[in-house]
Structure 1
């Protein structure tokens, strides 16, 4: 493929893509610069080459690309005008469905991306508590593009120092790190923000048998009047139909959803307890107002129609049980092939089966971007795109077999690199982390 697409992208889009995870520096040099379309579990480049796609649009597609039922629902509401001057019927239906679906939610506000949803939850927490500080989990990679989060990463350029100082960090599965923050800043922390799970299930509770770290967080927040914000952008509609909060038996004060909730259409949500959500309302006479979310396209009818159709499809087709089953088989397959090819010392697949992960380590057990790049490069040669692992309902036995063939060939090259190094095997530069201070 011509390099002209990459140059054209960089010429008109900062970074060449609208999400840094899609950037050229996240992929090996033989990855397609640009894609044209997708269907089911596959994407296609402009030359017509097909790739089994384990990226699934940054996890936003859960059923499959261009799913007919979902597309038909979106098209229906586009035909109804798509965006109206007053609330639409599908807006009400989607809101009532979401409130019915998620146990902790009494009210919901829709928006178009996860960043604005999580930032809205932070704003509500500050308004409710009168406090300024935010405690966010350092082990979870991304909550928002807004200053309160980015300022606490290693890319703080452009963020005022007072804003940077307002966000503090704690560690997942280490409740004492959150306790230490609360002890250091008593009566100053407005909210705790974390995901329910990423690479593994939450560990056991320190205090109560049969419970988890998440229950400890919940208790600590309640004890100190801190708003418990659970980010379910990834876990929502993947761990369980009612969210990871239902799977783990917790009840956050506020929660945020997005990604797979509308099978690739732009829908995200912030929801939670009525007393918090109503701070952003207008009907309570004399109440000081919180300007919560005001998005022209937040209630776009096509996206909300897609959400309703996606959720109904999940209920009717056992989509989430399929994630767990396929993911469990995939983890086993990857580790078995790694053992067979002699690369198990540098490769590991694991995680929660509905959302697996893989990683490469070097001889010192540090994360190896070189081996990961080589692996992805060889997978692309076999028609498999695996920058990470996101599953969809349209992945089945054929896709497992294609994956096994590709992985076997890729691991043979990894085994070779273990002896000789990656020099001469990599066709281009090593992929870089998204969060880095310098390009």
Structure 2
């Protein structure tokens, strides 16, 4: 790999890390700021309200995916990357300075909602643009390995958010964290987003985009996507729904599950998830490299079938576990299965579409599937728990992954049929 290509991949990945750091800071800090924005005595009710606004951010993803998917196809991948991180800067800054319910009444959760709408627009566009950019920049023989860095940086962003929480937990008491300490990660994220915005404006454009004619750049749109690529569109939507549900159930919701169900204190749950996510992050290039040798579909089926079989017993065991080491081992097993999907999911989607509609083709069906199942994972899990039927969520995840496995089987082996030009 030449220096220009490596610099572009690392530069695009750094921006992706900041995007997801900002987005996951909300999930990592919900336990602390929920009481400040939602004045209810029931902790589960507070989490449910915060999770509902978290889900609203996902519902904005299809809009962001469409707007910035078309923008990235028409104006360039790096232009789309710069726009998405700019929106994330605005959303994170707003959360950092938002007043609490005691200070501003109903305006407080309203501002939190606006911030999540901005972040949802940002991430909705970020995924498709980043997936397209990294996939087009990678060489054909190592495309699985290099494209896996999208999830390396995505997980790195989540780890960064959790890491900041760990530092704050070490230096501040619970009262200070709940009163003002939760604002610090959002302020850091806003600053980093501003820096990356400036960096992204200097990235190299991909050869695939530059090779397109002016007429080809004008062709991106939802009607063309649905008319010319309906099968690919719906397959991407289905695998994104199942993959997103598995990802958010095993990662962002898992921290709350360890506190709210297993009974760990917040600091212990954060340490368990930080260690597990670090191993998960390191596994992504390994699974990506394996896909360059054995193909994409076997890796996807490993996750789909394995997750369908493992979800119910794993969550059932975690609900009763009292040892942090045992909880860590169970979570890591789930995350390694998930790696079969996350390491190559963006690449598989990008390989299904031609360059002139690739960003939108990756972004829009992904955002729709993820909004319906990934973004609502926490809300559904907490709803079942409040209804006294928490185990139903475990079966819900297992059933969704079983259906997703059928879609994985229906995918072409994109390692052989990739539409990305070398």
- Which has the larger helix fraction? 2
For the aligned pair, the TM-score class normalised by the smaller chain equals under 0.3
State the TM-score, normalized to the length of structure 1.
Answer: 0.25
- Which has the larger strand fraction? 1
Q: Which protein, 1 or 2, shows the higher relative CO under an 8 Å CA cutoff with sep ≥ 6?
A: 2
